[in-house]
Amino acid sequence: MLPPSELAREVVRRLDAVHSRPQWHQRMPPLEELVACILSQHTSDANSGRAYERLRQRFPTWEAVMEAPTAEVEEAIRPGGLASSKAPRIQTVLRAIAEHNSGTLSLDFLKRMDTDSARRYLLSLPGVGPKTAAIVLCFSLGRPVIPVDTHVFRVSWRLGFYDRKVGEAKAHDLLEQVVPEEDVYAFHVHLIRHGRTVCKAQRPRCSECVLRDICRYGQSLQ
C-alpha cells in the first residue's frame, strides 16, 4: 500500500479525473455557518434547511434570536428536530460570541486569526465539537481543515488512512497530518461524493471503484 501522504495525493488525482477539481467558495459567513451546522445535527439536510430559513424569517437579526424567549426560537426551528435542545444551545452560543466580541454578533474576527487559534476559539463555544468547528473553518474561512462526516470517515478507514476504531473526532487530526494543504478541500468534497455514490455503507460498489487497487478494504475482497 502507498504511504499515507502519497495515498492522499493519488486519491485526489484519480477523483479529480472523474469529477473535475472542486473549487472552494464561501457557503455562508462564519456565524451563519455555525448556526446552520448546529441545526443540522441529527437531522436531514432538508429539515435543517427548513429550520434555518424559518429562523431567519422569524427573527430579523441574530440579536433578536439571542434575546427572544427560548420557546419562540424553539417554535421557529421545530422542523429541524430536537428544537428543545438546539434553541437554548444557539442562544447560549450567541451570548458567548457577543460577550467575547464586545457585544457584536459576528465571527468575522476569526478571519484575522490563524487556523489553530480560530479552531480553539470555536471549540471553546458551548456544544461546539471538532466537526462543527471544522465545517466553519473549511466552508466559511477556506482554511485547510477537513470536516469528517460519516462519509469521509467511512471512505478514509476503508482506504487505509486509519483504523475504524479511532472514531471521527480523532480522524480529523489524522487526516490533516497526511493530506497536503492544497488538496484538503478537494479531498473532503470528493470523499463525500464517493461515499454517497460508490463507497456506500451497505453494499459498497467496489467493482466500479477507481480507487480499488489502492484501497485496503477493496484489496481485502480479492
| Burial (CB count within 10 angstroms: exposed 0-12, middle 13-18, buried 19+), residue 81 | middle
Annotation marks residue 200 as catalytic: no
Long-range contacts of 161-170 (CB under 8 A, 24+ apart): 161/4, 161/7, 161/8, 168/130, 168/131, 169/129, 169/130, 169/131
**DSSP sequence for 72-119:** HHHHHHGGGS-HHHHHHHHHHHHHHHHHHTTT----GGGGGS-HHHHH
Catalytic residue among 86, 111, 131, 170: 131
Exposure string for 31-62, b = 16+ CB within 10 A, e = fewer: bbbbbbbbbbbebeeebbbbbbebbbeebeeb
Provide the annotated active-site residues. 131
